[in-house]
Amino acid sequence: MNDLTNNFGTLYFPVKAFVLYHKQSNGYSHDRQQPYVESYDMDSNGSPVNAHPLSNKESEALAKALTTKSKKESSFLTPSGLIPKNVLYVNTGKNPCVIWHTPPQVTGLLFDENLTIPNGKAPVPALVWKADRNNLQVFAIKGRAVGTETPLYYAPFFNLNQQGRVCMGNVQVKIPKDCGLEHFISLWQTYFFNSYFTHLLGEFAPVAGNIVQLWQGLIGSPDKFPSKLLIPNKHTLKNLLP
């Protein structure tokens, strides 16, 4: 038997329970504005005991907890200063997400040994990223200029489907509820480039030619990524907007 305790994450135990009471309505709305709050301690089995009126100390602790939660949620995707120039779109509403781009660059890549591609640094094209708290899409673009009419190309990597959605495999994506904009972008790029590329999804080929031979030749290469091998996906950047 293996001890799996550390795989469960942080464990929380109940210590307090609060019950809100209202007077029975007699037809006057002001009666419902006079609530009574009863506090319960929790025993070792998680059962409520020691019922008593909510004390000032307990009230202050509850207010602090609610305020902290509210601040964390409201700070999600908030920039530390001016919005970074590479950020194209930010939605902090009901379905928060970010769209950003990165220029052509040389970066470290990791490959499953079954692909027979060595790990190392290689040139990658300019990329457009779209992410929410749980999902990531990646696309390639040609050049550095980015606008709503910029044509999108399939990102030339393994682990992506035709919609640009990244299969993260066994990578545990953990985006904090109070994650700021810059940290959010940095986390997703780290998850992507620090995870192993393992396989193509179905019969979908994201580049013209043999993708294995492509990356075998690019690892350690001083050349730029051969953009002529990128395949257009018939969409433009504006199609990524909600």
Average of per-residue pLDDT values in the chain: 85
Q: Note the pLDDT tens digit of each residue in 73-87.
A: 568 999 999 999 999
Q: Note the pLDDT tens digit of each residue in 207-227.
A: 999 999 999 999 999 999 999
Q: Note the pLDDT tens digit of each residue in 158-200.
A: 999 999 999 998 889 999 999 999 999 999 999 999 999 999 9
pLDDT value at 1 more than 90? no
| Residue 106, pLDDT score | 98
Average pLDDT over residues 116-133: 98
Per-residue confidence band for 101, with pLDDT thresholds at 50, 70 and 90: very high
Average pLDDT over residues 107-119: 97
| Residue 68, pLDDT score | 46
Question: Which DSSP string do the residues of the chain spell out, in sequence order?
Answer: ----GGGG-------EEEEEE-PPP-S-GGGGG--EEEEEEE-TTS-EEEEEEPPHHHHHHHHHHHHHHHHHHHTTT--SSSPPTTEEEEE-SSS-EEEEEE-SEEEEEEE-GGGT---EEEEE-EEEEEE-SS-EEEEEESSS---TTPEEEE-S-SSB-TT-BB--TT------TT--HHHHHHHHHHHHHTSEE----TT---BSS-HHHHHHHHTT--SPP-GGGB-EEEEEGGGG--
Average pLDDT over residues 26-33: 52
| Residue 25, pLDDT score | 59
| Residue 218, pLDDT score | 98
Q: Of 37-41, 122-126, 144-148, which gets the smallest average pLDDT? A: 37-41
Bridge partner residues of 220 (DSSP)? none
Residue 77's nearest CA partner among 175, 148, 189 is 175
| Residue 63, pLDDT score | 53
Q: Note the pLDDT tens digit of each residue in 130-154.
A: 999 999 999 999 988 899 999 999 9
| Residue 49, pLDDT score | 73
pLDDT value at 10 more than 60? no
| Residue 169, pLDDT score | 86
Per-domain residue ranges of the chain: 10-74, 87-240
62 vs 77 pLDDT, higher one: 77
Highest mean pLDDT among 33-37, 144-148, 155-159, 238-242: 155-159
